[in-house]
């Protein structure tokens, strides 16, 4: 049997280790190999520095979605990309409230799923604004589930956003966004394991009397194959311009279709008058016959003009450009 150390020898050995006088096997291994701990899940290690191309994609999406969202609500909407961060997916899920408007989608041919989250107060604002409300009093959805109309209308907004997301990515890498399903509980929207790193992009949505956010979460593993494209620096520091990029963006913008509406006029009638309407009745509008019509582009007033006929089709002759305030 080997010798057993006495209590005094054990105390002396422990004191020597604590003071550094006695080397341990771990210390020797570290000194010989120079091995240090490396956290592979650290966001600083995975995504170092900015992603210039992704910033441009986000700006493009903001402009496209501003037009789409304004057209849906028939009101001016501001959309701005406010932040891009990387976090562990588990931490991100824990930060989400219940209920949450969660929408899972794919970015083919890239692998995996993405997640789009519409803030709860924005969900109620969408419904209120669409049906003519002013949404002056902010509404929150905390102790109840979303209604059927809230779910349906929010899905329509998300589908429009995914189309714009696809267009914004096209000049860099062509993707096809496919809507998968919606969830209200973050636990059922686990697109990757909790320890996986995800990219979290937040877009601020400003309506007339309220604001909210739309957040897009994309797993790092999904965009890893095209990370060099997203990290590509357009050499702004050297004042060199990527002409190919500018040309492709210009081509996409010039071929993007927008909805143009000429509003004949509007008025208000009572519910009693409404239910009594029949074929042949006349509804008097609020504007004079000599007043020009207001023409909106994606829900935003752009020009004024008078109606007429051109080549056998109804037409509008533009007489005034509406200058945007501010």
Q: Tell me the CA distances in angstroms from 248 to 14, 213, 253, 255, 281, one per residue in order.
A: 69, 29, 9, 11, 52
pLDDT for the residue 27: 46
Q: Tell me the CA distances in angstroms from 82 to 59, 215, 233, 323, one per residue in order.
A: 10, 10, 20, 27
pLDDT for the residue 193: 92
Count of Cβ atoms closer than 10 Å to residue 210 Cβ: 19
Count of Cβ atoms closer than 10 Å to residue 81 Cβ: 18
Count of Cβ atoms closer than 10 Å to residue 129 Cβ: 20
Query: Residue 4 — very low, low, confident or very high, per pLDDT cuts 50/70/90?
Result: low
- What whole-number distance in Å separates Cα of residue 215 and Cα of residue 75? 21
pLDDT tens digits, 9-44: 656 655 555 555 555 554 444 455 656 565 554 544
pLDDT tens digits, 211-266: 889 999 999 999 999 888 887 654 443 344 456 667 767 777 777 788 888 888 88
Lowest mean pLDDT among 110-119, 174-183, 189-198, 284-293: 284-293
pLDDT for the residue 112: 92
Query: Residue 208 — very low, low, confident or very high, per pLDDT cuts 50/70/90?
Result: confident
- What whole-number distance in Å separates Cα of residue 66 and Cα of residue 120? 19
Q: Which CATH number fits domain 43-255: 3.40.800.10, 3.40.50.970, 3.20.20.100, 3.40.1550.10?
A: 3.40.1550.10
Q: Please tell me which of 8-17, 142-151, 281-290 the model is most confident about, judged by mean pLDDT.
A: 281-290
Tell me if domain 43-255 and domain 260-321 are identical in fold: no
Residue 215 Rama label (left phi>0; alpha psi -120 to 50; beta)? beta
pLDDT for the residue 238: 35
Give the residue extent of every domain in the chain.
43-255, 260-321
CA 212, 176, 43, 236 dihedral sign is: negative
Q: 1-38 in b/e burial notation, b at 16+ Cβ within 10 A?
A: eeeeeeeeeeeeeeeeeeeeeeeeeeeeeeeeeeeeee
Copy the structure tokens of residue 182. 């919606």
Fold exhibited by the domain 260-321: Surface presentation of antigens (SPOA) (2.30.330)
Instruction: Name 75's Cβ contacts closer than 8 Å, sequence gap at least 6.
Output: 129, 207, 208, 299
Q: What is the mean pLDDT of residues 98-114?
A: 92
Copy the structure tokens of residue 181. 């399903």
- What whole-number distance in Å separates Cα of residue 269 and Cα of residue 278? 14
- Tracing tokens 């309407």 back to the chain, one arrives at 277
Lowest mean pLDDT among 106-120, 171-185, 310-324: 310-324
Please check whether residue 46 is in contact with residue 231, taking contact to mean a CB–CB distance below 8 angstroms: no
């Amino acid at each position: 049997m080997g010798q057993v150390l006495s209590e005094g020898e054990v105390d002396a050995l422990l004191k020597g280790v604590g003071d550094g006088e006695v080397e341990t096997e771990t210390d020797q291994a570290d000194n010989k190999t120079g091995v240090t701990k490396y956290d592979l899940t650290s966001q600083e290690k995975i995504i170092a520095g900015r992603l210039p191309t992704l910033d441009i994609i986000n700006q493009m999406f903001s402009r496209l979605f501003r037009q789409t969202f304004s057209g849906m609500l028939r009101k001016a909407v501001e959309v701005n990309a406010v932040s891009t961060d990387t976090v562990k997916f588990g931490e991100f899920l824990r930060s989400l409230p219940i209920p949450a408007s969660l929408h899972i989608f794919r970015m083919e041919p890239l692998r995996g799923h993405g997640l789009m989250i519409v803030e709860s107060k924005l969900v109620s604002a969408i419904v209120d604004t669409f049906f003519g409300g002013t949404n002056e009093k902010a509404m929150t959805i905390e102790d109840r589930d979303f209604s059927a109309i809230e779910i349906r209308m929010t899905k329509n907004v998300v589908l429009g956003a995914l189309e714009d997301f696809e267009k914004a990515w096209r000049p860099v890498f062509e993707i096809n966004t496919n809507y998968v399903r919606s969830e209200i509980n973050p636990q059922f929207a686990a697109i990757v394991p909790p320890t996986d790193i995800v990219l979290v992009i937040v877009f601020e949505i400003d309506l007339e009397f309220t604001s909210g956010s739309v957040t897009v979460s994309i797993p790092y593993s999904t965009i890893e194959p095209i990370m060099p494209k997203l990290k590509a620096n357009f050499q702004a520091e050297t004042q060199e311009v990527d002409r190919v990029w500018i040309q492709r963006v210009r081509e996409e913008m010039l071929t993007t279709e927008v909805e143009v509406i000429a509003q004949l006029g509007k008025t208000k009638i009572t519910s009693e008058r409404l239910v009594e309407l029949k074929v042949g009745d006349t509804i008097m509008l609020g504007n004079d016959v000599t007043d020009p019509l207001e023409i909106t582009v994606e829900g935003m007033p752009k020009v004024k003009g008078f109606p007429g006929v051109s080549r056998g089709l109804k037409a509008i002759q533009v007489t005034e450009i509406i200058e945007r305030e501010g």
